[in-house]
């Protein structure tokens, strides 16, 4: 990806669909365009959605949490992330009752690591953001700074479980990271990941607003794709194409389930970006409208089951016929 605050747009151009492997030239079609600097393309075969163009960063540097007001972000996200972590860890325990070593990739502020330690795992995390990593360490959580797998301290080390919560959608080549995870799981190890759902209600509503207003209300969509961050949402999956991706990467899928939408802290969710990066006022009528609208969508998502994220539990497929990632 070309990413620089000195260019007008960031571009991501995969040669193949990350989920089904079909060539981009044959499979991808434009799904949603907003001006010249925002384009989402979709695979006509499996429905995978890729962010191909997005606005340049409004700041220098590559720390994911540079644009956020830290205390507001933590209030906005901690409760829901910890609830999702508990759900995921319970699902892992059903497949692997005996806890062992667990690595959380993209550990952020260490919330999943904290829940895993409470559940009896020998847990640790790896996280590229120095802001998040330092905050986790101040809480006494074993989170090291770096990228997986390049910055692992011990070459050849394996884990009984590896988790990724809201990480895979940020990576240019999801299948490559899955292959790296597969090689670092123990023979009976388990992969658990959570990703945004392309069928989620928030994403549907934000796209509908862009279309209905001819792009005048694009703010919610840009927030859904996290274009204000160093690592935007490059991918939106749904359960079917995630199954394809995991199978291509050499995994046997054990379970795919929606992660229930957790309501609350709506004002902080709307207002955790620093004003110079937010794109919308942090107070006033527009802000209040966004808070009210988000609360309504939260309730509707719980009623309809169109949740924003889903999780997957898988293990390395040891069958001779299992397809391996290139």
DSSP for 101-130, written as a single string: EEEEET-TTSHHHHHHHHTT-EEEEEES-H
- Angle value at C-alpha 289, between 284 and 290, nearest 5 degrees: 100
Instruction: State the 10-residue block means of pLDDT for the chain, 326 residues long.
Output: 52 94 95 93 96 86 88 91 95 92 98 97 97 97 95 87 97 95 95 96 92 89 90 95 96 94 65 76 58 69 83 89 50
| Terminal Cα-to-Cα distance of the chain (whole angstroms) | 20
Task: Quickly tell me which residue has 């009210």 as its tokens.
Answer: 292
Instruction: Delimit the domains of the chain by residue range.
Output: 62-326
- Angle value at C-alpha 181, between 57 and 198, nearest 5 degrees: 50
Of 47, 39, 38, 41, nearest in space to 19 by CA: 47
Superfamily the domain 62-326 falls into: Vaccinia Virus protein VP39 (3.40.50.150)
**Which pLDDT belongs to residue 182?**
96
DSSP for 213-242, written as a single string: TTTTT-HHHHHHTTTTSSS---EEB-HHHH
pTM of the model: 0.91
**Which pLDDT belongs to residue 99?**
87
């Amino acid at each position: 990806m070309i990413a620089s605050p000195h260019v007008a747009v960031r571009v991501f151009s995969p040669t193949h669909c990350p989920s089904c492997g079909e060539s981009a030239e044959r499979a991808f079609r434009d799904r949603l365009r907003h001006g010249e600097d925002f384009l989402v393309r979709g695979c006509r075969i499996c429905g995978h959605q890729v962010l191909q163009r997005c606005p340049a960063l409004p700041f220098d540097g590559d720390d994911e949490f540079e644009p956020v007001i830290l205390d507001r972000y933590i209030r906005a996200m901690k409760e829901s992330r910890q609830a999702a972590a508990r759900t995921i860890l319970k699902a892992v325990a059903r497949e692997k009752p005996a806890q062992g070593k667990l690595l959380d990739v993209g550990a952020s502020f260490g919330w999943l690591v904290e829940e895993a330690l409470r559940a009896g795992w020998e847990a640790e995390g790896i996280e590229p953001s120095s802001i998040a990593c330092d905050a986790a360490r101040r809480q006494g959580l074993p989170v090291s700074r770096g990228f997986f797998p390049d910055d692992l301290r011990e070459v050849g080390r394996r884990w009984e479980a590896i988790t990724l919560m809201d990480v895979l959608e940020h990576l240019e080549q999801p299948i490559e990271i899955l292959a790296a995870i597969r090689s670092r799981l123990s023979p009976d190890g388990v992969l658990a990941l959570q990703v945004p759902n392309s069928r989620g209600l928030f994403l549907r509503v934000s796209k509908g607003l862009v279309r209905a207003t001819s792009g005048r209300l694009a703010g919610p969509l840009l927030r859904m794709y996290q274009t204000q961050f160093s690592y935007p949402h490059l991918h939106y999956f749904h359960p079917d194409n995630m199954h394809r991706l995991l199978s291509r990467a050499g995994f046997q899928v054990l379970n795919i389930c929606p992660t229930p939408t957790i309501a609350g802290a709506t004002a902080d969710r709307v207002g955790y970006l620093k004003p110079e990066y937010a794109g919308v006022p942090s107070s006033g009528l527009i802000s209040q409208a966004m808070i009210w609208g988000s609360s309504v969508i939260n309730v509707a998502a719980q009623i309809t089951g169109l949740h924003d994220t889903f999780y997957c539990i898988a293990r390395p497929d040891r069958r001779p016929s299992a397809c391996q990632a290139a």
